[in-house]
């Protein structure tokens, strides 16, 4: 047990730093257990700080301090105080150079924060607070410094030595050592510092900016992965062009580097000029990477590149402002992906993720505002709320202002805050100024946790020919705020009305601000009050309202649509998101009916309107195949659990399977015809057309295998064996391995063993192999996971492996994870305890599924709480895990 419980820090307590560090000179001699880090920091008192004290307090952790001097005069240990997490120096001058030498042990650093070793390579991850594990510093984002970094290492083992900015000097030293000195002209906070040393190869390209500057682009990987870099490079160049075209942002350094590392806590990191990426977000090749993998590489490359402006040139004042860079940058990368591929598909995928995962976070014990008011460990706040909901909030500003004013607001924001550490308020005020409007009512989106509910009711008056919609917004109670104390949200509702002959002209009469599209059939209402009534005139018959087009606000919409209304929306609305959503809602209502029958012990029947609608979709050649596939994909068990008050995992699973099997059986011919008529592309490309076709094809295959027809099992196996790309190969593997039918077992066993034989040398493909097995059904699931954890390819210190096996099990195999004997919970708790000691960030993240215990029946609640409590008793509990556990048990 820890002696003192870790305490929270609060946004309201923000104070400017006592000192500034104008220049930072670093010198590294790389060694696995004794890397010598020498720093010379040019420090002065911050003129804006109101403190009279002359004390300097530097952050530092796990550093073996060797010496401290000020202006060349060595201090002895009476001049400073060394604590576990800081170094205090009592009487510092107004201005001075502080020199510190320390030793660190990258090979022992399993937290993957600070300087660590990944395989044979040295690399760093400093965001959020990892720099303090490298050297003593003011490790906070509002202290910006100009960095010069020299790296010394063995020439043979580490021919490549990189850091931020431009290389300015290099040479050989005694004992086969060499050095490279890098200088970054742009002042930056320490969290953007990076260093890499390794035996790496690179692919190179060049990009010429609008103003004619040629930028060197380099992607560094292990030699064996050189053939998997082209997609990342192409994505980088598209991102650079896009940011110039859409945001007027040009790249600023002469060189942009990406380095791929195997062991990485997150996706990637935007270190100035030297982006470090999880291999899973850089490497892509048709044979080893699925379409989704290709899209992820494109999105993450873009995301990190866009951070050069939204994050690096303008950074965050403090970590409560994390969404300032993350929400905005996710919005930017989402728009980029929409422009590169299919806009509607991208929107649907994002809305799906938000509704299944972020809404759950917002409804759980760890709910927090997009701008949190407090935290214990900032690493716990790299969340769906800060990233994805944060992006939705920026998107709403875009909707409210329109594209043109939004761009002016963004220009103003970059111009005003360039080279500075800014706040969310700075961002919004630039938008207010450019848009010529007050956004104060909008701020609830940043300050309040929880997903607002928007309940809408309609009434039609045939004599006045008026159609009225009444909107009621509420927001549930969240950990720190009662429902009644919440301010209303400014909710943009993009909508239209469908009559029997298509979209109706809108003549709204209301106190709500609204904007109408040119042809009058679409409008955006701006709700600001708990209740609003909007009356539409000249309506001849009750229409079907199409609400929240494009998912115009991240709310739970409630409207009592009949199945026929939903079918009208699905087939007639001109908004792709609404069409998809109507189909999902139809599926949900059909699944709910089956659930109800199962609970009442009645023979369930599946509403034939769903199979009719599905038939119409599958046979319609005019629709985007990707949209058809999305619409034919039943809502996930995770989403069905999320929208339930108490999630009955087994009933949800059975009901969903019944509906799925019903669709498979009743549309077998149609699925087969469509499967056979879709083209096969011998030349793989990750473009929207090909991706769409493969997604529909594999969706059909899924249903066809669900019929358990021997012919289709055989055909899936043939596809598995003959596929020339990973998308088709892994889709076939999954449908066979995840089939509950006993006739599939032999196929599944062969495919899984062949897969490992074929791909054992490709770490990222092996991850897929772990994931499929983690999701397999059956009583023996937990034992299977335990034995896979002993497999030669598993490594608990590699976060990708942990996510692939344990993460996939706990998140995507609900029936087995929630086994009422508690064995799934026990397994996860054991893993979390292990990780707590080695990698607290990942430990806290893996804990997620257990924190949602309130969603389940009382027996499971008890079992889940028992595991949480037992983790809480762990000796040496990390701050990360402590925060998640204590909030989830509160």
The least distance separating ligand ARG from the CB of residue 853, rounded to whole angstroms, comes to 25
Beta bridge pairs of residue 637: none
- 318 makes contact, choosing from Zn ion, ligand ARG, none, with CB < 5 to 8 Å by partner type, with none
How far apart CA 234 and CA 232 sit, in angstroms, is 6
- 332 makes contact, choosing from ligand ARG, Zn ion, none, with CB < 5 to 8 Å by partner type, with none
Nearer to ligand ARG, 138 or 268 (CB): 268
Nearer to ligand ARG, 268 or 829 (CB): 268
Catalytic residue among 304, 392, 595, 883: 304
Nearer to ligand ARG, 776 or 841 (CB): 841
Contact 851, 811 (CB under 8 A): no
How far apart CA 528 and CA 438 sit, in angstroms, is 13
- 530 makes contact, choosing from ligand ARG, Zn ion, none, with CB < 5 to 8 Å by partner type, with none
- Residues forming contacts to ligand ARG in the complex (CB under 6 A) are 127-128, 265-270, 303-304, 326, 379, 382, 841
The least distance separating Zn ion from the CB of residue 269, rounded to whole angstroms, comes to 8
CA distances from 251 to 186, 268, 273, 300, 509 (A): 12, 19, 10, 17, 48
The least distance separating ligand ARG from the CB of residue 132, rounded to whole angstroms, comes to 13
Which helix (H) or strand (E) segment is 567 a member of? Answer: helix 563-572
Question: By Cβ distance, which residue is nearest to ligand ARG?
Answer: 266
The DSSP code sequence of 282-347 is: T---TTT--HHHHHHHHHHHHHHHHTTTBTTTBEESSGGGHHHHHHHHHHHHHHHHHHHS-HHHHH
- 140 makes contact, choosing from Zn ion, ligand ARG, none, with CB < 5 to 8 Å by partner type, with none
- 734 makes contact, choosing from Zn ion, ligand ARG, none, with CB < 5 to 8 Å by partner type, with none
The least distance separating ligand ARG from the CB of residue 112, rounded to whole angstroms, comes to 8
Nearer to Zn ion, 311 or 496 (CB): 311
Which helix (H) or strand (E) segment is 419 a member of? Answer: none
Q: What is the size of the binding site for Zn ion (CB under 5 A)?
A: 2
Instruction: Point out which span in 2-10, 324-332, 415-423, 823-831 binds Zn ion (CB under 5 A).
Output: 324-332
Cis previous bond, 846, omega within 30: no
Query: Length of the chain, please?
Result: 890
Nearer to ligand ARG, 304 or 318 (CB): 304
| Binding residues among 328-367 for Zn ion as defined by CB under 5 A | 329
Nearer to Zn ion, 386 or 726 (CB): 386
The least distance separating ligand ARG from the CB of residue 554, rounded to whole angstroms, comes to 19
Instruction: Point out which span in 288-296, 325-333, 447-455, 639-647 binds Zn ion (CB under 5 A).
Output: 325-333
How far apart CA 204 and CA 209 sit, in angstroms, is 16
How far apart CA 20 and CA 45 sit, in angstroms, is 6
- 275 makes contact, choosing from ligand ARG, Zn ion, none, with CB < 5 to 8 Å by partner type, with none
- 379 makes contact, choosing from Zn ion, ligand ARG, none, with CB < 5 to 8 Å by partner type, with ligand ARG
- The b/e string for 855-878 (b: 16+ C-beta within 10 A; e otherwise) is bbeeebeebbbebbeebeebeebb
3-state secondary structure of 787: helix
- 266 makes contact, choosing from Zn ion, ligand ARG, none, with CB < 5 to 8 Å by partner type, with ligand ARG
CA 131 to centroid of chain Cα atoms: 23
The least distance separating ligand ARG from the CB of residue 753, rounded to whole angstroms, comes to 35
3-state secondary structure of 148: strand
Nearer to Zn ion, 329 or 444 (CB): 329
Instruction: Point out which span in 72-80, 280-288, 321-329, 681-689 binds Zn ion (CB under 5 A).
Output: 321-329
Dihedral angle sign, alpha carbons of residues 301, 302, 305, 311:
negative
- 118 makes contact, choosing from Zn ion, ligand ARG, none, with CB < 5 to 8 Å by partner type, with none
The least distance separating ligand ARG from the CB of residue 321, rounded to whole angstroms, comes to 13
Catalytic residue flag (residue 304): yes
Given 3-state DSSP classes, what are the helix, strand and coil percentages for the chain, each rounded to the nearest 5?
45, 20, 30
Burial of 83 from C-beta contacts in 10 A (0-12 / 13-18 / 19+): exposed
Q: What angle separates helix 625-632 from helix 688-706, to the nearest 10 degrees? A: 30
How far apart CA 862 and CA 868 sit, in angstroms, is 10
The least distance separating ligand ARG from the CB of residue 233, rounded to whole angstroms, comes to 19
The least distance separating ligand ARG from the CB of residue 513, rounded to whole angstroms, comes to 34
3-state secondary structure of 387: helix
Nearer to ligand ARG, 306 or 489 (CB): 306
How far apart CA 394 and CA 169 sit, in angstroms, is 42
Q: What are the backbone angles phi and psi of residue 114, rounded to the nearest 5°?
A: 85, -150
| DSSP code for 259 | E
Nearer to ligand ARG, 332 or 656 (CB): 332
Q: Could you give the residue numbers annotated as active site?
A: 304
> Which residues of the shown chain bind Zn ion in the complex (CB under 5 A)?
326, 329
């Amino acid at each position: 047990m820890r002696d003192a419980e870790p305490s929270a820090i609060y946004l309201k307590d923000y104070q400017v730093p006592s000192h500034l560090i104008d220049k930072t000179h670093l010198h590294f001699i790389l060694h696995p257990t004794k890397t010598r880090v020498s720093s010379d920091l040019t420090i002065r008192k911050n003129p804006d700080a109101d403190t009279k004290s002359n004390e300097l307090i530097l952050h530092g952790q796990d550093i073996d301090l060797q010496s401290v001097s000020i202006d060349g005069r060595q201090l002895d240990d009476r001049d400073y105080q060394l604590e576990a997490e800081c170094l205090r120096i009592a009487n510092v001058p107004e201005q001075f150079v502080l020199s510190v030498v320390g030793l660190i042990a990258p090979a022992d650093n399993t937290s993957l924060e600070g300087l660590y070793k990944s395989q044979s390579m040295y690399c760093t991850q400093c965001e959020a607070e990892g720099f303090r594990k490298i050297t003593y510093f003011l490790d906070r984002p509002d202290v910006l410094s100009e960095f010069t970094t020299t790296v010394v290492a063995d020439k043979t083992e580490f021919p490549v030595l990189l850091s931020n900015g431009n290389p300015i000097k290099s040479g050989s030293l005694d004992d086969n050592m060499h050095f490279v000195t890098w200088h970054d002209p742009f002042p930056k906070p320490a969290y953007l510092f990076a260093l890499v040393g390794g035996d790496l190869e690179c692919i190179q390209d060049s990009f010429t900016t609008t103003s004619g500057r040629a930028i060197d682009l380099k992607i560094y990987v292990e030699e064996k992965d050189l053939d998997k870099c082209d997609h990342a490079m192409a994505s980088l160049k598209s991102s650079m062009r896009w940011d110039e075209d859409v945001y007027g942002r040009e790249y600023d350094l002469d060189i942009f580097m990406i380095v791929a590392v195997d062991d990485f806590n997150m996706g990637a990191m935007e270190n100035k000029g030297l982006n470090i990426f999880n291999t899973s977000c850089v490497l892509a090749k048709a044979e080893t990477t699925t379409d989704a993998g290709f899209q992820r590489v494109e999105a993450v490359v873009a995301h990190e590149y866009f951070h050069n402006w939204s994050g690096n040139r303008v950074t965050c004042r403090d970590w409560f402002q994390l969404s300032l860079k993350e929400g905005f940058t996710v919005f930017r990368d989402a728009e980029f992906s929409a422009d590169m591929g299919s806009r509607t598909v991208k929107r649907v995928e994002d809305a799906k993720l938000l509704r299944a995962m972020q809404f759950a976070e917002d409804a759980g014990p760890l709910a927090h505002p997009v701008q949190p008011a407090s935290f214990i460990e900032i690493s716990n706040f790299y969340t769906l709320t800060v990233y994805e909901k944060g992006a939705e909030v920026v998107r709403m500003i875009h909707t409210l202002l329109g594209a043109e004013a939004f761009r002016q607001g963004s220009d103003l924001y970059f111009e005003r805050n360039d080279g500075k550490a800014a706040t969310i308020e700075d961002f919004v005020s630039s938008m207010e100024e450019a848009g010529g409007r007050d956004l104060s009512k909008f701020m609830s989106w940043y300050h309040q946790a929880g997903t607002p509910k928007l309940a809408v009711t309609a009434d039609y008056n045939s004599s006045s020919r008026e159609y009225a919609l009444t909107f009621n917004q509420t927001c549930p109670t969240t950990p720190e705020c009662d429902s009644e104390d919440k301010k209303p949200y400014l909710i943009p509702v993009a909508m239209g009305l469908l009559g029997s002959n298509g979209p109706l002209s809108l003549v709204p009469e209301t106190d709500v601000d609204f904007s109408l599209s040119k042809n009058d059939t679409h409008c955006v209402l701006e709700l600001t009050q708990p209740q609003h009534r909007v009356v539409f005139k000249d309506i001849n018959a009750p229409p079907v309202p199409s609400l929240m087009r494009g998912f115009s606000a991240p709310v739970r919409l409630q409207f009592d649509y009949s199945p026929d209304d939903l079918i009208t929306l699905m087939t007639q609305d001109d908004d792709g998101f609404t069409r998809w959503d109507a189909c999902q809602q139809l599926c949900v209502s059909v699944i709910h009916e089956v659930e109800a029958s199962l609970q009442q012990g009645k023979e369930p029947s599946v509403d034939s309107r769903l199979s009719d609608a599905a038939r119409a979709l599958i046979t319609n050649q005019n629709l985007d195949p990707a949209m058809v596939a999305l619409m034919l994909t039943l809502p996930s068990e995770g989403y069905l659990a999320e929208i339930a008050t108490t999630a009955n995992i087994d009933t949800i699973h059975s009901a969903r399977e019944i509906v799925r099997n019903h669709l498979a059986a009743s549309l077998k011919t149609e699925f087969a015809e469509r499967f056979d008529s879709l083209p096969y592309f011998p030349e793989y490309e990750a473009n929207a057309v090909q991706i769409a076709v493969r997604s529909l094809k594999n969706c059909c295959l899924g249903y066809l295998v669900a019929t358990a027809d021997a012919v289709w099992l055989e055909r899936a196996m043939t596809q598995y064996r003959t596929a020339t790309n990973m998308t088709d190969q892994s889709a076939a593997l999954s449908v066979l391995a995840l089939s509950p039918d006993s006739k599939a077992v032999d196929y599944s066993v062969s495919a899984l063993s062949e897969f490992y034989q074929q791909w054992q040398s490709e770490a990222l493909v092996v991850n897929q192999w772990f994931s499929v097995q983690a999701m397999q059904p059956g009583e023996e699931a937990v034992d299977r996971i335990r034995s896979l954890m002993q497999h030669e390819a598993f490594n608990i210190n590699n976060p990708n492996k942990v996510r692939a096996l344990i993460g996939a099990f706990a998140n995507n195999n609900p029936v087995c994870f929630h086994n009422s004997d508690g064995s799934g919970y026990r397994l996860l708790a054991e893993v979390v305890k292990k990780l707590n000691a080695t990698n607290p960030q990942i430990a806290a993240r893996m804990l997620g599924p257990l924190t949602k215990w309130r969603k389940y029946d009382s027996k499971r609640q008890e079992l889940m709480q028992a595991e949480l409590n037992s983790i809480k008793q762990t000796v040496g509990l990390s701050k990360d895990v402590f925060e998640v556990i204590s909030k989830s048990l509160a």
